A and B are shown apart, each in its own frame.
Chain A
Amino acid sequence: MSFYDYANLTGNDAMQFLRAAGVTLYITIVSLLIGSILGIALGIVRCSKNKAVSALPLILIEPLRNSPLVTQLFLIYYGLPMVSSIMLDPYPAAILAISLNTAAFMAVLVHNSISAVPQGQWEAGLALGHSSASTFIHVIARQAFRLLIPQAITLYISQLQCSSLVALIGIMDLTKLGQNLALRTLKPFMIYGIVFLIYYILSSPLSKLARDLEKKLSFNY
């Protein structure tokens, strides 16, 4: 291989970009799935009328919302083995960190969406004879879900972009591949331009979806 070949992108590099995009998507989708389920559960608990119960999720939510994701990632990947016998591989560590971070933000969105449904909707459901649980399921949750969706998609876009931090613990995602190729080719503008474009291609349909859903699902009380 001549220096010229080494400094240019090859067909193999294109495959690597695809593979790295797959890694980025895999980590993001698995983390968002776990984070969303956990976040929805925490958000619902936050809505409890019992103040002690509703405060419980804050133990998890507040530290995670008020510290950088990269710190949480390092704490799990580098820090945990120092204080316990838990030594996670990069993938599980990355998925755990992004899942927890997503859960914290999702819990806040869920709590806000449920709180945004006017009290009158609760009363209307109860006055028709529904129990609190039935009112929640058939009236409140369905409205809250419609309020939640566009915000959740915006969170997902943000977390997709934050997933680039997993490059810092050695996972060969899009960003890490970009670093490697930029060092090899000495063409950082072109390489990071490609990485930028792939992130854009992955994110922009979600942004459009969020905008469309916001219009479609919105309603005035």
Chain B
Amino acid sequence: MYIQRTTNDNYESLIHDITGKVGKEMAMIEVKNVTKSFGTLTVLKNFNVEFNQEGVTVLLGPSGTGKSTLLRCINGLETVDEGDILVNGRSVKEKKNLRDIRLDCGMVFQRTVLFPHLNVMQNLTMSPVKLLKMDKAKAEEKAIYYLKKVGLESKAKALHNELSGGEQQRIAIARALMMNPKALLLDEITSALDPEMTSEVLKILENLAAEGVCMLCVTHEMQFAKHAASRIIFMDKGSMEADVTAEEFFSTVRKENERIAKFLNFIGE
């Protein structure tokens, strides 16, 4: 099933579009027997998982267990060595699919990567105008809508170096949402921020989650996982240790699974 992408002018409806109207009959993202190595280090081993377009899925696990690599493989920023990943039925192995896959899966990175030669408004509108052929005035209107959502409508003309780290990440989230993604891939987006900025960003994510935005997050923020996640996947050494609801994870699973208990104790949870 392929989803027709449009320059939907009624962008408020996109929030609903992102909540699961599409792809109900099949998983939006299917990771099939994926193996990925960097040199001699295998970070994903025959990894299998499916993500539907619903709720917030949090990927947990110690550093170096392949969580970020999984997100990067889904987005086509890393190639898979074996297996395949299908996003709305399109294989990431086919180069011609990458544009649509990336439009379906907006990504925000650990290190903020706003375009420094553009101001906030231009950061938000450049891609919709160039790629989705959206009218510039409409793109700006839509940008204001998302800037309000992330509480930064007053910063439309600011340059990236006039923003705090937290503000930059919020702008990066708004920029990803501007492309009408079906899901957001968030790769440890608060790990480079101080606690105050982290809470700013998490608040925005919780608001988006409450509105039903579909997210796939790599994070070490357990409070966010507890409050916002509908599903938690625990990864260790490139494999899946647990794939459960947040409630189960923090109650029964942590008691039964020694590895998970050790991890949660280690990070002070």
Chain B residue with Cβ nearest A120:
B113
Complex: how many Å from CA A125 to CA B77?
Answer: 11
> Quick check: is B111 within 8 A (CB to CB) of the other chain?
yes
A:98-154 near B, CB below 8 Å:
118, 120-121, 123-131, 134, 138-139, 142-143, 146
Instruction: Verify B175–A121 contact, CB threshold 8 A.
Output: no
* Inter-chain residue pair count (beta carbon < 8 A): 61
- The proximity string for A residues 152-180 relative to B, scoring 1 for CB distances below 8 Å and 0 otherwise, is 00000000000000000000000000000
- Say which residue of B107, B116, B130, B161 sits within 8 Å of A143 (CB atoms): B116
| Residue count of chain A within 8 Å CB distance of chain B | 21
User: Once the chains bind, are B131 and A124 in contact (CB under 8 Å)?
Assistant: no
Whether B224 sits at the interface, judged by CB under 8 Å, is no
Interface residue? B103 (CB, 8 A): yes
Q: Does B127 contact A (CB under 8 A)?
A: yes
Contact A121 B115 (CB under 8 A): yes
The residues of A that contact B106 with a CB separation of less than 8 Å are 127-128
Report the minimum CB–CB distance from B97 to chain A (whole Å): 12
On whether A127 and B77 interact (CB within 8 A), knowing A219-B117, A219-B161, the answer reads: yes
| B176 sits at the interface (CB 8 A) | yes
Q: Which of A120, A129, A146 contacts B131 (CB 8 A)?
A: A129
**Given A120-B109, A219-B161: A139 touches B115 (CB 8 Å cut-off):** yes
Which residues of chain B from 82 to 118 have a CB within 8 Å of any chain A CB? 98-100, 102-103, 106-107, 109, 111, 113-117
Which of A121, A131, A146, A219 is in CB contact (< 8 Å) with B113? A121
- Residue interface bits B113-148, CB-to-A below 8 A is 1, else 0: 111110000000011001100000000000000000
Whether the pair B115, A124 counts as a contact (CB closer than 8 A) is yes
Least CB distance, A12 to chain B, in whole angstroms: 51
Cβ B113 vs Cβ A143 within 8 A: no
Cα A9 to Cα B99 in complex, Å, equals 70
Counting chain A CB atoms within 10 Å of each CB, the highest count among B99, B109, B115, B161 belongs to B115
Least CB distance, B110 to chain A, in whole angstroms: 9
| 0/1 string, A26-66, CB within 8 A of B gives 1 | 00000000000000000000000000000000000000000
Interface set of B (CB-CB < 8 Å, partner A):
75-77, 98-100, 102-103, 106-107, 109, 111, 113-117, 126-127, 130-131, 159-161, 175-176, 179
